[in-house]
Structure 1
């Protein structure tokens, strides 16, 4: 948004607090007649106006008295509180009024509207609340979405809800989407082919300088050197873009050191004393933000160190120089871990151009980009919509209250990612905000009305009956902002509470301004939750009230666990932690909380296998058992343990992936034991069973019969494992281990699979032994069902003319003829051919080695023997 779009070059510009003078002509003025005509004929339009055109502060007032509005209100959405307040102040001043008259604003925890207010400038989240309370937006004739190109999640949600409200409740409700860099065609299509109006801005030329080589080292060091060089070369104030508050603070320190002359070469030079260094980011108090965007005091130059808040939503007066670090910090949500983190990314080309344009709003300017021209060519054309990388839990709760179970029921410019949305719904169920069908519970309704993130709202509502509501509101304020302790490596959340209550931290420096602002925010949350602010204030002097401090220390972990139930963590034996959701986590540096048995983690950095715990508080097992009793599951685990080769039985109390208590179970359900034992056999294989040589032979004979007749039982490994309960289950009662299984008779178990006629047929057709001419009963080897083996000494077969057959004569046995030393000398399935051809070569070879044995010339007429030579005939 451009709060000073009316600013005339060289004039006072009409910033906050200015008089009622309005510049005669602005670029947007040429488009206003067409806009009035379009909005009179259509219910939606898209307006693209370059920076400096005057759209933000001119359009609402230009449409205020249109006949179709009929005295109704105009709502104009701004992406940031600073922009909303500034726009309202400027429009009110242009009418010669105070804010709260014809023009007012509504932002979180700050509202200035009155009975006569016709234009309400609101932040995007406020629109959602208004829609939930009145889906028809009764009394509202026009909703303007300003700076829509920033694609904030709440802006996308607000537009989707307004489109449905327009379709279902109020066909006459007007929607106007305004932007400076938006790709307008998709938005116009989303609005049903809405007309597209374009206004050129009036920007002064801006000369752009690129870095000759990529920046190395700390960004803020390079930025400060560039700022000092630019201020020496050019007139006017400087606007410096940095990714976050931490970099802004470090750059501020370097610049102040340079201004005082103590920076030396580290700061890249010395600044004159007439430079004011002013930070500008969302967490600053409104007064500090207003000071940064207002014109500098007479004779003074200023350096404004800003995040992307100054990219397009506000105009910083007096700027002629822009120094762009080229980075921004955006939220990224990981459906894999269920955690969000801030990620530093390169700006898009569109964002870089918006930043550069800040230098040409009031006069020719200069832009220094801390990246090379080659790097610029690699930048993305547009920034990603916040919807694609944000935590979708607030969105999912709003949709559920709206009555939407599937976000696909609404019209979106960018649909919510399915995986992230599903995870958000699962979290809301865990917080008791949604029932099993996805409908909002009364608790979920109350959470949404608080206006906090669902996690924090759940914590506050659950804390109130415990007498901990005020403490929960203080934690909500701390958790919704940057870390109040600068430079602290401690993860202990209790230290942050100490800082909020005015006690010195053991390490790190408390940001006094942040403490004051967060204390005020906590009081606002208390009022929103129906708590007396005195409940929190009474503990302000906690340094002299040890019981209050002890109560905070003891309750901090419990309250964090209520807000982050999925991040309850249990210490493992190796010092790392297991989160309730099954993920691993670790405290990177040794500190007092490193040894806590249980933690509630409020902030995690999703990196690698184990997340890094950044903020947490200790938690007692008794608290978990008391306050999470409804979520604790008692389970009996009867499980086969491979290493012990036995069934082990335990009773466990489990909170998600965390086992709170575990004990041996001495009288487990016999059916569960049997199932576990059979599962162990299936897992490790049938070799766990006591197969004797005879039992294995029986299985092999049965497999042979099955191969020739599929009606026979299949006793292959695969078939037996698949049917373990049926054939083995009846025999394992009371057994728990491999040692117990050794008592089984596998012959009896296998025979039980056969009927009596089948047993008789098995003995007849697939015998265990064959009697050979020598009179010996030789066992058959059925390990290969296709080729059963008869291993017998050659002399025992004299006189046997044909190969023996089994399976009703269908299958010849494979004869392994053995030497007197029991070594195979010939393998055949054609005994007749062997006697006729091969025998004489075998005889020649063996007779020399075994001269004492019987080697007849005619084996078919010779006497078979199991001795060296036949016994003499009587």
Structure 2
């Protein structure tokens, strides 16, 4: 170990890590926050801590956040007594400091994708480290998949290391087929105090200052307070204005300047206490000196599918149990600490165990474009930590075809190739690459630079205001983005009609103000969007929207500009067509012939007899909105999923983890043909079941028929329905006499799953339940029969039911 470095918990396993990485090409390392994995492991593998190098060539370490990348690189360089850019380098979208001497390069995960696409062999790279992998960012998952592809096909010697603070190491090592090393870390005890949730829906930025003042009175030391985003942080800071001089309030979020971020993580001056107001960026990747108090709002802001805009929207959700545990642990890194939680203790049990991987919930258009550039049209052929949902892949491909990035076969077009070379989401890439003139391309590049960087140019939703603010901004971050925009725009002077540029890239997000509304708009895509009534843009009848935030039902417009109606109709493309809507409550269709720009109806007339395809599309829309209850088929779909789940659990089949959400998303593929045949009639539930089962692989169909039947024939000759939705499923109910003669219990799934037998009295009331008939006949039956003989003396209650003749429950006289 290099002398002069302070001891860290990770040091105890560095020798083991070096040894395993010397002999294996993949490794999973789990170490809690504060163990030192981020700043020690790359240096140890590179031979920079006094031992010979294990890895030949440059080591690339991926960080999911720019601030974490910069601080990790800076800390490693400082520990070596060097400036950043020498032995340790940094590459982010707005900063690059590397040289020919660089042995360890810290890079943001999105830029790694560009690098491996341009150089699939990763020439000169000896190892790729995926840090903070537990965050399960989309770029990290995609980068890992491509790295494993490169390793398998081109670079057998390439090393891949997954590092995480909290991780399901068993499942990760199973996917990667590699060993696991775990570091215990070092943690002091932390007392948890629950302050309860607000009873009057008080804003979190109003509650947090109260909790901070309470903690300042009750405890010593600096405070780390977790809030969901920059808006809540700044509002909280405003309310703490006027705090004593001995208390410094500092924000910490990604859009701050490096100097502001450094101020947040540096030690408080002697004689002062610091209150750091941070997003979840401070959960694990950053060390903040002096903190022994954590105040947790219990909220996170996460990226989710936005079906437009810049690919995702940011939504505020409850943090996962893994996240709040990590936050709590920040109070015990240096000494015993205290964690205040702004919710009730019982609510902790209801939190999700871990964050949902972004690949399962986000827009996948960037991923599909990347795979097309990689040369792979079928994502299912690759190795993923979590397989991308088929429905989201299809939606992403449809969007890329609409943008002109892919052809109908899924191959990259010349426009798509140009879009893929730009480090931008596909929408912004299309905006730049499809601009018709050099001046318009330069203008589009400016728009893309500010739109892709949240908060750049100010907070106004009006693109004109934001662009003016961006052009005036002289900060280092703005200067870097302007340089990028200039390179994307090929150095030309910007000019042209911004509204037309946006409309060409976002034709589905041209929006018209709803009649009689104040700030509510309907987009051509069919989604609703809104602006505050007081916003100047809300006075405009037509907008073209570039970005959205907030809830999915009526998203908040965060970037837009006015567009002339004639221009909107010309670019958006007006069509005349027949449309219908379906009301699940009445089972009736309402049809009309419309002239429309997408979902924006310009004129319409009644249509008495809609065609079957129109009715089918309307019913499919109702299913997307309300699920299968819209057509009365929820039970049969849930039943089929339960049958498949039972067979998967029993090891009879592998069906790929089908879900109700997935079936709704894929209904166009397996249900639409049936809906078209039905025309204006709702299909009966059994027909929906048949359509679903028929869409499955032949082996699954056979297993359902053979090992998970809908009915069972009982010894009495009766056919009994199998209930797969009961809590005791699979369940069969019949009069007790129907089971006479059965010495062995009924089983399904190739004899691996016992059926729950519910015996009924002659009056059809449940009297006994068993999953072991052999044992029941010799024990529980005796008590049941004694009771039944008294209540139903005319019926058959033999002493040896296992040998008796089964029947339908007739009286003795009729036997």
TM-score (normalised: structure 2): 0.67
Q: Which residue of 2 aligns with 1:76?
A: 61
Q: Any residues of structure 2 matched to 1:89-168 within 5 Å, and which? A: 89-168=74-153
Give the C-alpha shift of residue 525 in structure 1. 2.9
2:575 is aligned with 1:616 = no
Q: Any residues of structure 2 matched to 1:248-267 within 5 Å, and which? A: 248-257=233-242, 259=243
Q: Any residues of structure 2 matched to 1:588-627 within 5 Å, and which? A: 589=533, 593-594=537-538, 596-604=540-548, 613-624=557-568
2:353 is aligned with 1:362 = no
2:294 is aligned with 1:322 = yes
Q: Which residue of 1 aligns with 2:195?
A: 211
Give the C-alpha shift of residue 361 in structure 1. 1.7
Give the C-alpha shift of residue 605 in structure 1. 5.3
SS of alignment partner, residue 452 of structure 1: coil
The one-character-per-residue Cα deviations of 1:314-336 (angstroms, maximum 9, x if unpaired) are 11111111111110111221569
Q: Residue 238 of structure 1 contacts residue 303 of structure 1 at CA under 8 Å; is this kept in 2?
A: yes
Q: Which residue of 2 aligns with 1:170?
A: 155
- What is the aligned counterpart of 1:566 among 503, 508, 521? 508
Give the C-alpha shift of residue 519 in structure 1. 3.6
Distance 1:678 1:197 in 2: 67
Q: Residue 49 of structure 1 contacts residue 198 of structure 1 at CA under 8 Å; is this kept in 2?
A: yes
Q: Any residues of structure 2 matched to 1:498-577 within 5 Å, and which? A: 498-501=468-471, 516=475, 519-532=478-491, 535=493, 555-570=497-512, 577=521
Distance 2:124 2:531 in 1: 54
The one-character-per-residue Cα deviations of 1:461-503 (angstroms, maximum 9, x if unpaired) are 3337151334323322442344568886xx533233344455x
Structure 2 vs 1, CA of residues 102 and 656 (structure 1 numbering), >3 Å: closer, same or farther? same
Q: Which residue of 1 aligns with 2:70?
A: 85
Structure 2 vs 1, CA of residues 614 and 659 (structure 1 numbering), >3 Å: closer, same or farther? same
Q: Which residue of 2 aligns with 1:494?
A: 464
Distance 2:129 2:552 in 1: 43
2:239 is aligned with 1:297 = no
Distance 2:478 2:85 in 1: 26
The one-character-per-residue Cα deviations of 1:692-720 (angstroms, maximum 9, x if unpaired) are xxxxxxxxxxxxxxxxxxxxxxxxxxxxx
TM-score (normalised: structure 1): 0.63
Distance 1:352 1:680 in 2: 54
Distance 1:362 1:40 in 2: 33
- What is the aligned counterpart of 2:5 among 12, 19, 22? 22
Give the C-alpha shift of residue 340 in structure 1. 3.9
Distance 2:478 2:87 in 1: 32
The one-character-per-residue Cα deviations of 1:8-67 (angstroms, maximum 9, x if unpaired) are xxxxxxxxxxx98312x4322221222122112111111111222221111111111488
Q: Residue 215 of structure 1 contacts residue 370 of structure 1 at CA under 8 Å; is this kept in 2?
A: no
2:368 is aligned with 1:384 = no
Distance 1:682 1:519 in 2: 52
2:33 is aligned with 1:51 = yes
Q: Which residue of 2 aligns with 1:784?
A: none
The one-character-per-residue Cα deviations of 1:809-863 (angstroms, maximum 9, x if unpaired) are xxxxxxxxxxxxxxxxxxxxxxxxxxxxxxxxxxxxxxxxxxxxxxxxxxxxxxx
Distance 1:122 1:571 in 2: 43
Structure 2 vs 1, CA of residues 341 and 526 (structure 1 numbering), >3 Å: closer, same or farther? closer
Structure 2 vs 1, CA of residues 614 and 589 (structure 1 numbering), >3 Å: closer, same or farther? farther
* Consecutive unaligned residues in structure 1, runs of 5 or more: 1-5, 7-18, 260-271, 503-511, 537-550, 640-648, 665-675, 684-721, 723-874
Structure 2 vs 1, CA of residues 241 and 622 (structure 1 numbering), >3 Å: closer, same or farther? same
- What is the aligned counterpart of 2:21 among 39, 54, 67? 39
Distance 1:680 1:225 in 2: 62
Q: Residue 240 of structure 1 contacts residue 324 of structure 1 at CA under 8 Å; is this kept in 2?
A: yes
Structure 2 vs 1, CA of residues 661 and 624 (structure 1 numbering), >3 Å: closer, same or farther? farther
Distance 1:122 1:682 in 2: 50
Q: Any residues of structure 2 matched to 1:411-490 within 5 Å, and which? A: 411-463=383-435, 465=437, 467-482=439-454
Distance 2:329 2:552 in 1: 40
Structure 2 vs 1, CA of residues 72 and 213 (structure 1 numbering), >3 Å: closer, same or farther? closer
Q: Which residue of 2 aligns with 1:771?
A: none
Q: Which residue of 2 aligns with 1:61?
A: 43
Distance 2:107 2:308 in 1: 34
Give the C-alpha shift of residue 308 in structure 1. 0.4
SS of alignment partner, residue 100 of structure 1: coil
- In the alignment of these two chains, the number of paired residues is 597
The one-character-per-residue Cα deviations of 1:600-656 (angstroms, maximum 9, x if unpaired) are 112345758665545421223554577x4xx747769999xxxxxxxxx9997x754
The one-character-per-residue Cα deviations of 1:351-405 (angstroms, maximum 9, x if unpaired) are 1111112122222222111111111121111111122222212111111111121
Distance 1:417 1:248 in 2: 34
The one-character-per-residue Cα deviations of 1:562-613 (angstroms, maximum 9, x if unpaired) are 3322101245666665432244556563765456453211234575866554
* Consecutive unaligned residues in structure 2, runs of 5 or more: 581-591, 615-676, 678-815
Structure 2 vs 1, CA of residues 280 and 577 (structure 1 numbering), >3 Å: closer, same or farther? closer
Structure 2 vs 1, CA of residues 38 and 471 (structure 1 numbering), >3 Å: closer, same or farther? same
Distance 1:187 1:650 in 2: 53
CA RMSD, aligned part only? Answer: 3.6
Q: Residue 84 of structure 1 contacts residue 105 of structure 1 at CA under 8 Å; is this kept in 2?
A: yes
Structure 2 vs 1, CA of residues 525 and 656 (structure 1 numbering), >3 Å: closer, same or farther? farther
Distance 2:79 2:457 in 1: 42
Q: Residue 338 of structure 1 contacts residue 423 of structure 1 at CA under 8 Å; is this kept in 2?
A: no
Distance 1:187 1:159 in 2: 12
Q: Residue 46 of structure 2 contacts residue 55 of structure 2 at CA under 8 Å; is this kept in 1?
A: no
Q: Residue 62 of structure 2 contacts residue 112 of structure 2 at CA under 8 Å; is this kept in 1?
A: yes
Distance 1:336 1:97 in 2: 45
Distance 1:333 1:445 in 2: 24
